[in-house]
Amino acid sequence: MIYVLYVIVSVICVYTARHYWFTLNRLFAFQRHPYIDIDTADWPPVTVLVAAHNEEKVVANILSALMTVKYPEDKMLVIPVNDRSTDRTREIIDEFVERFPGRIRPFHRKDGKGGKAAALKDAMELVETEVILIFDADYIPGAGLVKQLTAPFFDPEVGGVMGRVVPMNCGTNLLTRLLDLERSGGYQVDQQARMNLRLVPQHGGTVAGVRLSALREIGGWNDTSLTEDTDLTYRLLLRGWKTVYQNRSECYEEVPETWPVRIKQIKRWAKGHNQAMVTYGLRLLLGRHRASLRERIDGTLLLGVYIMAPFTLLGWALALGVFYQGVAPLHGIVAILSVTAYAAIGNLAAFFEIAAAVRLDGSRRRVSLVPFLILGFAVSIFAVSWAAVSQVKDALTGAEFHWDKTERFRKAAS
């Protein structure tokens, strides 16, 4: 039992060090934004896919925004991927098609497998351009975003691009404010540090782009994956394509406003991530492919982030067990010093990262909400652990994954 505990503690320490490394890099090291200066070019034709499943509340906003972006009109085609919607989504999309002839080509999917990846896979029959951008329907791209997300594709090594998402409903309640802080940490520090350090920035599947030839080379969208974005990141990496992160390519999104919706969302992410871990983990770490050593290590750690939740719970249980058995790990004093040191530094790593991100964002007073993150952390650790357990149960019983769409809270556009 004690040796299992040692392993868990060691892995947690690795993640702690990683948090600090990323944060210090983001605060003090050279920041890489190699493609953000490309503002003049012979811009390539681009297809913008808008994934929409029952999105009557939000789809008009994104289509309006896309019709006003600064990109040559004759080189940009918007394809709303209306995935079996039963609300007014189709009607709204068709109104836009009429208002902007030739600029929007709708893809109305009436049946087929559920899930975003399956819908995108089917929509590919309409795509002819080398550069594809993807947005979920609740996002609102700014005027320069399409150019910014297209620019990295001038680099022949780039297969995928990821922009930054910024919650627009962050002031609604405690949950949205906590998610706003988490997003800051995740993008402003985590993703940008990975970009700086030439590690593995993660494709997020929205506010994102992918190169058609790269997508074809890796076999297209994987409709068996619950998180097609994570799946795409690793398949691109294994075939020598880079995913790059553009921290200044920001786009508003809507975050969940209720805990049940948030729990459902994070459980899906956890399951998808774990699925990718099982599929690509060993191959990434030990296989023969073009990823560098640092990409192998970082990619593996990234795959393991969600499995750390049940690991941590197991660690707590083992620590209690060891304590009540009267075992003194590592000769007592070493253990006490280690625990004290970890309590002083390690427990704060993720919070330090988020606080640094908030500061980099130029916010001031919202950083005082950081202590509340313990609440979000507690909910997440149990939700993610439960997802892992149910995933194992599903694997044993042969149950199929079910894709849950995240509920929207915005009022429908008039």
Partner 1 sequence: MSSFFAVVGLILLTSALWLLPLVPALAELHRKSDASPLSVIQQHTGEIRFFADGFRAYMKSLEPVLRECVSSGTHASGTMPDGSEYLVLGRGEEALFLPLREQNEFRPVMIVSGSDLLLPPETNFSKDIYSAGSVIGGTKSRYRAILADHDVRLGPDSSVMRWVHAAGEFSADSGCSLCGRVSSDTGIRLSEECSFLRLNAPHIVIGSEADSSPATPQISADEPTPQRLFHDGDFEIRAGEVFEGNLVVRGRLRIGTAARVRGSVKSEKEMVLEPYVSVEGSLISASIMQIGADCRIRGPVIAERVMLIRKNTHCGTLANPTTVSAPDIQVERGVVVFGTLWARELGQVVADL
As given in the structure block, the two tokens for residue 397 are 């019983």
* Spatial contact of 140 and 206, defined as CB atoms under 8 Å apart: no
Q: Which is nearer to partner 1, 210 or 251 (CB)?
A: 251
Q: Which is nearer to partner 1, 58 or 170 (CB)?
A: 170
> Where does 192-344 show beta strands of DSSP type E?
208-211, 242-253
Q: How do the residues of the chain divide into helix, strand and coil, expressed in percent and rounded to 5? A: 55, 15, 30
**Which one among 22, 35, 96, 245 touches partner 1, defined by CB under 8 A?**
35
Helix axes 349-360, 174-184, angle to 10 degrees: 90
Candidates 133, 139, 146; CA nearest to 47 is 133
Q: Which residues have C-beta within 8 Å of that of residue 335, sequence separation ≥ 6?
A: 328, 329
Q: Which residues have C-beta within 8 Å of that of residue 309, sequence separation ≥ 6?
A: 270, 380, 381, 382, 384, 385, 388
Binding to partner 1, residues 151-170 (CB under 8 A) = 151, 154-157, 166-170
With binding defined as CB under 8 A, does residue 401 bind partner 1? no
Q: Which is nearer to partner 1, 249 or 391 (CB)?
A: 249
Binding to partner 1, residues 5-24 (CB under 8 A) = none
Binding to partner 1, residues 174-193 (CB under 8 A) = 174, 177, 180, 184
Q: Which is nearer to partner 1, 67 or 322 (CB)?
A: 67
**Which one among 72, 240, 287, 321 touches partner 1, defined by CB under 8 A?**
240
Least CB distance to partner 1 at residue 351 (A): 11
With binding defined as CB under 8 A, does residue 287 bind partner 1? no
Least CB distance to partner 1 at residue 315 (A): 23
Q: How far apart are CA 181 and CA 255, in angstroms?
A: 12
Convert residues 100-139 into a mask of x (bound to partner 1 by CB under 8 A) and - (unbound): ------------------------------x---------
With binding defined as CB under 8 A, does residue 340 bind partner 1? no
Convert residues 343-362 into a mask of x (bound to partner 1 by CB under 8 A) and - (unbound): ------------------x-
* Spatial contact of 47 and 128, defined as CB atoms under 8 Å apart: yes
Least CB distance to partner 1 at residue 260 (A): 21
Strand order in the sheet with 131-136: 107-109, 76-83, 46-52, 131-136, 208-211, 158-167, 242-253, 140-141
Q: Which is nearer to partner 1, 58 or 118 (CB)?
A: 58
With binding defined as CB under 8 A, does residue 41 bind partner 1? yes
* Spatial contact of 185 and 19, defined as CB atoms under 8 Å apart: no
**Which one among 143, 285, 327, 336 touches partner 1, defined by CB under 8 A?**
143
Q: How far apart are CA 242 and CA 262, in angstroms?
A: 30
Least CB distance to partner 1 at residue 369 (A): 5
**Which one among 22, 107, 245, 252 touches partner 1, defined by CB under 8 A?**
252
Task: Please report, for residues 170, 243, 248, 397, the alpha-carbon distance to residue 226 in angstroms, rounded to integers and kept in the order given.
Answer: 26, 19, 28, 18
**Which one among 110, 288, 331, 364 touches partner 1, defined by CB under 8 A?**
364
Q: How far apart are CA 240 and CA 115, in angstroms?
A: 27
**Which one among 20, 84, 87, 142 touches partner 1, defined by CB under 8 A?**
142
**Which one among 2, 11, 38, 322 touches partner 1, defined by CB under 8 A?**
38
**Which one among 228, 250, 298, 353 touches partner 1, defined by CB under 8 A?**
250
What is the size of the binding site for partner 1 (CB under 8 A)?
47
With binding defined as CB under 8 A, does residue 397 bind partner 1? no
With binding defined as CB under 8 A, does residue 72 bind partner 1? no
What burial letters (b/e) apply to 281-307, b meaning 16+ CB within 10 Å?
beebeeeeeebeeebbbbbbbbbbbbb
As given in the structure block, the two tokens for residue 206 are 């929205």
Q: Which stretch binds partner 1 (CB under 8 A): 56-64, 249-257, 378-386, 390-398?
A: 249-257
Q: How far apart are CA 51 and CA 40, in angstroms?
A: 29
Task: Point out which residues bind partner 1 (CB under 8 A).
Answer: 32, 34-35, 37-42, 70, 130, 140, 142-144, 151, 154-157, 166-171, 174, 177, 180, 184, 213, 240, 248, 250-252, 290, 361, 363-366, 368-372
